[in-house]
Homo-oligomer: A and B are copies of this chain.
Amino acid sequence: MQLLKDRILSDGKVIGSEILMVDSFLNHQLDVDLFNEMGKEFKRLYEGEEITKILTIEASGIAIAIIAAQYFKVPVVFAKKHVGTNMDEKNYEAEVFSFTKNTLYKIRVSKKYISSTDKVLIIDDFLANGRALLGLSSIVTQAGATVVGAGIVIEKAFQKGRELVESEGIRVESLARIEKMENGKVIFKD
């Protein structure tokens, strides 16, 4: 998606060869016009597919998912990393290993909000090692529902995420695929 790639080039900040900061428009300050274009693009990529629900994960996935939901006309459910008193006790759970924080954390979705007839599109801001995506996919599978595919904003194509996720038979669509980052610059794949 050219608009997004241009934005990454103009406003993204590369740190070393692994970290891309996009907090000025994607995951701290949010550019709603860009989000709408991304939502339309996810809809175009999954045109013709039956989708009944969008699943994402707090916090950065939520804004992208809810804007995309306007085009798919389906509800959003977000998996919780942090359990409050307002959380139902009957949940699907999955464990996710975070490479950035070097810890294992649990994600949860109430059993009430994914049913076996659901066709689920998983949306997230980044695909790197693919662990969050596999955790979300596991939750969909536990519910007996179907993963239609994943919609990713930025894919670090130099990491193993896509390979891992595709090996589970999950379709992956990314709006921007990064081949590598070097000397403070982003080089996109194709």
Interface-central residue, A70, A73, A77, A86, by most chain B CB under 10 Å? A86
Q: Chain A 65-88, CB within 8 Å of chain B: the 1/0 string?
A: 111011001111110101011111
Which residues of chain B come closer than 8 Å to A87, judged between CB atoms?
23, 28
So how many copies of this chain end up in the complex? Answer: 2
Q: Which of B23, B62, B82, B109 makes the CB contact (< 8 A) with A63? A: B62
> Is A167 an interface position by the 8 A CB rule?
no
> Is A113 an interface position by the 8 A CB rule?
yes
Q: How far does the alpha carbon of A64 sit from the alpha carbon of B122 in the complex, in Å?
A: 20
Please state if A30 and B75 are interface contacts (CB–CB under 8 Å).
yes
Q: Which 3 A-B pairs have the closest CB atoms?
A: A58-B59, A63-B66, A30-B76
